[in-house]
Chains A and B, each alone.
Chain A
Amino acid sequence: MDGPTLLVGLAGVLATSAPIAVASIGESLAERSGVINLSVNGTILLSAMGSFAVAVTTGSLVLGFILGAIIGAVVALLVAFGSITLRRSQVAVGFVLTLFCRDLSYFLGNPFMGDKGPRLAEHGIPLLQRIPILGTLIFKHDVMTYFSFVLIIVAWWWVYRTRPGLTLRAIGERPEAAFARGARVNLLRYTYTVVGGALVGLAGPMYSLSVKAGWKGTISGLDGLGWIVLAIVIFGAWNPVRVAFGAYLFGLLQWLSVVLQPSLQGIPSQVLQVAPFPLMILTLLFVNVGNAEWVDRILASLPEASRKRVAKILRSLRVVQPRSLGVPFEPD
């Protein structure tokens, strides 16, 4: 593979990973505040279908993307209402919604299957796109891919460099302390869950109107991606930059499996298609195993020098979830 081809390929990775990056960052914000929105898989399917149907009917891409965000926000609002106001299990509400939205997308999307719809066009940024290497890599994309770049930076800055971001981290870690300092914990949790849900909802049209344009029902190839998003959030330790890195890593691996297909003849296609899932389990194993008790015991039996080295590696991989993730907060 020559230089220019490789460059275009990598630029493609940035574009195809954009929906995953946006959805993962949205979910990270919700989980940072203490709410797991488990409906991601169904939300992406429903917003992909809904946006596509609207864009086909009205011919407007903008309406499609707006509807995608609204669908994500509404589903997230249900999760927030069920878990914060009604104190149901977040996992239960999210899981029901994920199945409900999936079936609903297949049911309502049936008449639109295989229709030809509009597709977001690429817009190179004047001047910047002429920069060698970087121009092709970053400045020749569609508008939603630029949005994903900006979102990574803005979300990181918000979480780690602003006062509201500090409050966000506080309500996910120690809501009582944040409450005592005047934070309206449950209102903020509602807000972040809904905003995060809207971002997850945007991932739908980013697929159906751009990266994987069209709606093909059960063979759209979108079912399962939402679960990858949830795993990437853990891998990324709820840090927008690390989460985006996880999304790009996933995109890179998918691209490699396509590029290397000719030399992977011996491996059946079914194995390649589900390769992300065992990979997801292994990744979660790597980032979590450092927390296990038996690992500490084995470490203690190692000689001093190697123990320090292994412990260091494990600690650098390890993620610790927000302390109050999934725990309801009672103001009184």
Chain B
Amino acid sequence: MADLAARVRDHFTRERWINIGLQIGALVLALVLTTVILVAAGAPPLSAYWQIIKGAVGSVTGFSNVLVAWVPLLLAASGVLVTFAAGLWNIGVEGQIVFGAVLTTWVMRLMQDTAMSPALVIIIALIAGMVGGALWAALAGVLKTFGGVNEIFGGLGLNYVAAALTLWLIFGPWKRPGIGSMSGTEPFPDKLALPTIAGLRLSPWSLGLGILAVIIVYILLERTYFGLKLKATGASNRAAFLLGVPTWQYGLVAFLACGALAGLAGAVQVTAVYHRLIPSISSGYGYLGLMIGMLIAYRAAWVAPIALFFAALNIGSIQLPIVLKLDSTLSGVLQGALVLFVVLVEGARQRYLRRAGLKPGGA
């Protein structure tokens, strides 16, 4: 018992309390900035925030939709952590989600009229999504490794290409009978959808996949030798190389893993949420995944709660245009301000420690 008390006491040292205080401080600063922006836009800040809270947790349907948005965020953010660990900026997550969705749709179109059992079709379609995301990530990875094209530009360019590819498919080869429309491709039959909880859009299967991904990535990064070597690569490419870690191969593997997780997010959006390919199938979840990665300073244990918070903001702000005539990008403004302040406050803390000579350097 005494041992446990000591451990709890060690866990909550003074420094730790200060850290928690600073994180809350960042949140307060983000809220202050967003409030100023709301006032500048002539909007009532309190009712805007109340709308977001009500939209996210005010009803069972609302909260189940938060969980629906949570799944792709979990997948994208945990994928991003793998590439971050290797010191890579996989801005291409967005395109990897999209291309995963494209391959999933393609496979389902091929197999929907065959005699295969629906369960098998769905499983193959999910795997196809992972393969698609991994392929799209491999493109950025190869461009980086062998072509010297920074992954930021390679990934970003491929995001736009993937978005255009989707539009072309929806209005071209895969258009609905008659005329193609922004509403997407012809919906798949109900039997090819991941089963949802009665009356809701939430599928326990996709929820399970999202949670599983977070757990696997956590174990991979924090509890395996592979994860340690990956992080060594990220911390110092040259040092890791001199210690015998095949660095560029590790970088490519990180890209593939992240792409597969992102592609799975795309596959989930097709099989469990939209049941077809739509123009904005990724909903910006890839970029949001990167933001989550930065916010949690790449600590895998925090993916789940922060992704849930971001999902709640997204879903909560959907009603803003209707109720308050405000653009729903307010959630993005709040998320951006939050990440910015967390990053800056952490910088200020380390600067203070450096100045006070309490800690040497730190990145």
* Residues of A in contact with B (beta carbons under 8 Å apart): 38, 78, 81-82, 85-88, 91-93, 95-97, 99-100, 102-104, 106-108, 110-111, 224, 227, 230-231, 234, 268, 270-271, 273-274, 277-278, 280-281, 284-285, 288-289, 291-292, 294
Nearest Cβ on chain A to B18's Cβ, whole angstroms = 17
| A103 cross-chain contacts in B, Cβ below 8 A | 329-330, 332-333, 336
Question: Interface 1/0s, chain B 137-167, versus A by CB < 8 A?
Answer: 0000001001111101110111011011001
Q: How far is the CA of A82 from the CA of B351 in the complex (A)?
A: 11
Question: In the complex where A88-B347, A103-B332 touch, is A292 in contact with B160 (Cβ < 8 A)?
Answer: no
Distance between B124 CB and nearest chain A CB, rounded to angstroms: 28
Binds A, one of B186-194, B199-207, B217-225, B338-346: B338-346
6 new A-B contacts, CB < 8 A, other than A96-B339, A227-B157, are: A87-B350, A88-B344, A107-B41, A227-B153, A271-B164, A277-B156
Contact A285 B147 (CB under 8 A): yes
28 A-B contacts, Cβ less than 8 Å apart? Answer: A81-B344, A82-B343, A95-B91, A96-B343, A99-B287, A99-B336, A100-B337, A104-B333, A106-B329, A107-B37, A107-B329, A107-B330, A107-B333, A110-B326, A110-B327, A227-B153, A227-B157, A230-B153, A231-B153, A268-B168, A274-B160, A277-B156, A281-B143, A284-B147, A285-B148, A291-B148, A292-B146, A292-B147
Contact yes or no, A87 B347, CB < 8 A: yes
B281 within 8 A of A: no
Most buried by B among A102, A284, A292: A284
Residues on B with C-beta less than 8 A from A291 are 148
Among A227, A230, A268, contact of B172 (Cβ-Cβ < 8 Å):
A268
Please report the C-alpha to C-alpha distance between residue A277 and residue B162 in the assembled complex, in whole angstroms: 11
Whose C-beta in chain B lies nearest to the C-beta of A289?
B147
Give the Cβ gap from B66 to chain A, nearest Cβ, in Å: 19
Residue numbers in B under 8 Å from A78 (CB-CB) = 340
Q: In whole angstroms, how far apart are the Cα atoms of A95 and B172 in the complex?
A: 34
Closest CB of chain B to A289's CB: distance in Å? 5
State how many angstroms separate the Cβ of B91 from the closest Cβ of chain A: 7
Size of the chain B interface, CB-CB below 8 angstroms: 47
B188 to chain A, nearest CB (A): 23
Q: Which residues from B are CB-within-8-Å of A294? A: 146
Q: Quick one: which of B91, B149, B160 contacts A284, CB cutoff 8 A?
A: B149
Q: Which residues of A contact B168 (CB under 8 A)?
A: 268, 270-271
Does A224 contact B332, Cβ atoms closer than 8 Å?
Answer: no
Taking a contact as CB atoms under 8 Å apart, the answer to whether A86 and B340 are in contact is no
Q: A106-B329, A281-B158 are in contact. Are A288 and B336 (CB under 8 A)?
A: no
Q: Are B294 and A292 in contact (CB under 8 A)?
A: no
| Known A-B contacts A107-B329, A110-B326, A110-B327; A284 and B41 likewise in contact (beta carbons under 8 Å) | no
**Complexed CA–CA distance, A68 and B40 (Å):** 18
| Choice from B89, B91, B326 contacting A107 with Cβ under 8 Å | B326
Contact in complex: A280, B343 (CB < 8 Å): no
CB of B150 within 8 A of CB of A86, answer no
A107 to B36, CA, bound (A): 13
Segment 304-356 of B: residues with Cβ below 8 Å from A:
326-327, 329-330, 332-333, 336-337, 339-340, 343-344, 346-348, 350-351
- Do A278 and B157 have beta carbons less than 8 Å apart? yes
Given contacts A107-B329, A271-B168, contact A93 B343 (CB under 8 A): yes
Going nearest first, the 3 A-B pairs with the smallest beta carbon separation are A86-B347, A100-B336, A103-B332
Residue in A268, A270, A281 whose CB lies within 8 Å of B153: A281
Residues of B within 8 A of A (CB): 37, 40-41, 89, 91, 143, 146-150, 152-154, 156-158, 160-161, 163-164, 167-168, 171-172, 287, 290-291, 294, 326-327, 329-330, 332-333, 336-337, 339-340, 343-344, 346-348, 350-351, 363
Partner of A91, one of B152, B157, B164: B152
Q: Are B171 and A268 in contact, CB atoms less than 8 angstroms apart?
A: yes
Most buried by B among A82, A97, A100, A224: A100
A108 with B164: CB separation less than 8 A: no
Question: Which residue on chain B has the smallest CB distance to residue A231?
Answer: B153
Q: Beyond A88-B343, A268-B172, is A274–B351 a contact (Cβ under 8 Å)?
A: no
With A107-B37, A230-B153, A268-B168 as contacts: A86 and B351 at CB distance below 8 Å: yes
Q: List chain B residues, Cβ under 8 A from A88.
A: 343-344, 346-347
User: Could you say which residues of chain A place their CB within 8 Å of the CB of B343?
Assistant: 82, 88, 92-93, 96
CA distance A93 to B341 in the complex (A): 10
Would you call A273 and B164 a contact (CB within 8 A)? Answer: yes
- Tell which of B89, B148, B153, B290 touches A289, judged by Cβ atoms closer than 8 Å: B148
Chain A residues near B89: list those with CB within 8 A.
Answer: 91, 95
Q: Give every chain B residue within 8 A of A91 (Cβ-Cβ).
A: 89, 152
Contact B340 A100 (CB under 8 A): yes
Q: CB-CB < 8 A to B149: which residues of A? A: 281, 284-285, 288
Q: Which residues of A sit under 8 angstroms from B143, Cβ to Cβ?
A: 281, 285
Q: How far is the CA of A281 from the CA of B162 in the complex (A)?
A: 14
Smallest CB-CB separation from B342: which chain A residue?
A96
Among A273, A281, A292, chain B packs the most CB atoms within 10 A around the CB of A281
Bound: A285/B157 CA distance, A: 12
> In the complex, A188→B333 CA distance in Å?
31
Q: Which residues of A contact B148 (CB under 8 A)?
A: 284-285, 288-289, 291-292
- Distance in Å: Cβ of B330 to nearest Cβ of chain A: 6
Q: A91-B89, A107-B327 are in contact. Are A82 and B164 (CB under 8 A)?
A: no
Q: Which residue of B lies closest to A267 (CB)?
A: B168
Q: Cβ of B147 and Cβ of A288 under 8 Å apart?
A: yes
Least CB distance, B220 to chain A, in whole angstroms: 23
Contacts of A99 in B (CB 8 A): 287, 291, 332, 336
| Chain B nearest CB, measured from A111 CB (Å) | 8
Asked whether B161 lies within 8 Å of A270 as measured between CB atoms, the reply is: no
Nearest residue (CB) in B for A274 is B164
Which of B171, B333, B347, B348 is in CB contact (< 8 Å) with A100?
B333
